Copies of this chain bind each other. A is one copy, B any other.
């Protein structure tokens, strides 16, 4: 990435008030070599079962109980999870697996850490039988009531219930579309100029990638980025809404991996501020190094892929 390109990107980000963080972290930390992932790899290949005193299993669950007679569909769902998560889990906190996407829930902010989707030409294809107008926003009953966001939290807040996994990415069955309307998949987003505009453009852009790439893996989530205040110190500051104090993220990210027909892999990584964005600003201005998102989110994206094995990151040869 040329330094002019970095500078222009930073101008866009700093114009919305949070540039300092991304600048600082990118410039300071590009020297740090990505080392072995202690946390998310290595142990996964081992066959491993319950240890006394370590109830590690409560954290992963299907959001909907699987009835005994539906074993075959359960198997289908498990293998779909395997497809969606092919290149690794970004983190392992409070995982929920739905039929066509996977989510990690942050019980403190009441907003997901990340949602993970696998897009193909088939899953995003228009289907007359599927209509998002038939889907209702609904609380996710699999979340303990202390940490569950509700429709009333958003009411009168001025924020949209913004999808993280986009409804338009899940068109195979009405049920898939419906499941994107769980409030676990929502975050408070600025409506006009963001959710209904630039963020939507990014979603459509990712969906269109399936015209060129047979497999597109998309991880989406919130960020709570610090900014420097007048006293020279960095602060994280975000609003919370409703009686459940649902956090309003300062930014949202998407990290996308595209698989070509001949098995090459490319990555793109975006951070958009949760505010009105000028329609004329090209999406490429919001590209950031994936490492920057990882540090800010506390997550490791596509950690089964070595970054230097990717053929492109943000359109540039690696």
Contact = CB atoms under 8 A, between A and B. Distances in A.
Contact of A47 (B24, B50, B298): B50
A37 B144 contact: yes
Interface in A126-144: 141-144
Given A54-B81, A59-B56, A81-B54, A143 B235 contact: no
Contacts of A35: 144-145
B226 A235 contact: no
B53 A56 contact: no
Contact of A58 (B79, B92, B144): B92
Given A58-B41, A92-B56, A92-B58, A235 B243 contact: no
Q: Which of A39, A81, A108 has the most CB of B within 10 A?
A: A108
A98 to B, nearest CB: 13
A93 B298 CA distance: 11
Where chain A touches its partner, the secondary structure class is loop
Interface residues of A, number: 79
A18 to B, nearest CB: 13
A288 B84 CA distance: 43
Interface stretch (A171-179, A209-217, A272-280, A289-297): A289-297
Nearest to A53: B82
A300 B146 contact: yes
Nearest to A85: B53
Number of copies: 2
A314 interface: no
A289 B46 CA distance: 42
A28 interface: yes
B240 A234 contact: yes
Contact of A142 (B38, B147, B236): B38
A67 interface: no
Contacts of A46: 57
B237 A108 contact: no
A43 B56 contact: no
Contacts of A54: 60, 78, 81, 85, 95, 97
Closest 6 CB pairs of A and B: A53-B82, A108-B298, A107-B298, A53-B81, A93-B93, A237-B237
Interface of A: 21, 24-25, 28-29, 32, 35, 37-44, 46-61, 78-79, 81-85, 88-89, 91-95, 97, 106-109, 141-147, 224, 226, 233-241, 243, 245, 247, 291, 294-300
22 contacts: A29-B243, A32-B146, A39-B58, A39-B94, A40-B55, A41-B58, A52-B81, A53-B83, A53-B85, A56-B60, A56-B95, A59-B93, A91-B107, A93-B93, A108-B224, A108-B297, A146-B291, A146-B294, A147-B298, A233-B239, A235-B239, A237-B237
